[in-house]
């Protein structure tokens, strides 16, 4: 009985080792990607990422609104998921409010955030306030 157990363990270990070597023979990045980016296969992951980012953001390669951009408007959820592309921060403060006014308004608009904010220890709040 114990011989069968060890035989099964040995077969499982051999199977895992064979699967690992088979997986290692298949690169995760196709050769065509390296050719399109004019990179050598021995390029570091950082170099590959920088080349991909540069090509992706290149207006000459279609980055931006694109050919049919006039027909597409992002959904609010898309804006939420990709704030770097869609969020435009305010250039000035709209109103100057006191702390009490801020808390009162946020209690109505986002009560969950106010409750979380109340639980933060005071030394942390004063560190961010200054």
The tens digit of pLDDT for each residue in 116-125 reads 888 877 655 5
Global pTM value: 0.36
**How many domains does the chain contain in total?**
1
Q: Is residue 32 part of a domain?
A: no
Task: Output the pLDDT for position 39.
Answer: 92
Q: Is residue 123 part of a domain?
A: yes
pLDDT per position as a tens digit, 31-45:
888 998 899 988 888
Q: Is residue 108 part of a domain?
A: yes
Query: Measured between alpha carbons, how far is 125 from 130 in angstroms, rounded to an integer?
Result: 9
Which residue segment(s) compose the domain that 114 sits in?
Answer: 99-129
Q: Is residue 93 part of a domain?
A: no
Q: Is residue 31 part of a domain?
A: no
Q: Is residue 109 part of a domain?
A: yes
Please give the structure tokens belonging to residue 53.
């980012």
């Amino acid at each position: 009985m114990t011989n069968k157990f060890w035989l099964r363990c040995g077969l499982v270990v051999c199977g895992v080792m064979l699967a690992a070597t088979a997986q290692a023979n298949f690169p995760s990045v196709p050769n065509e990607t390296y050719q399109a980016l004019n990179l050598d296969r021995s390029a570091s992951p950082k170099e590959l990422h920088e080349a991909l980012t540069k090509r992706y953001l290149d207006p000459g390669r279609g980055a931006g609104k694109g050919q049919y951009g006039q027909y597409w408007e992002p959904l609010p959820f898309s804006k939420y998921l990709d704030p770097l592309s869609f969020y435009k921060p305010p250039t000035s403060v709209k109103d100057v409010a006191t702390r009490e006014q801020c808390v009162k308004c946020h209690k109505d608009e986002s009560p969950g955030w106010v409750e979380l904010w109340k639980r933060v220890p005071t030394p942390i709040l004063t560190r961010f306030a200054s």
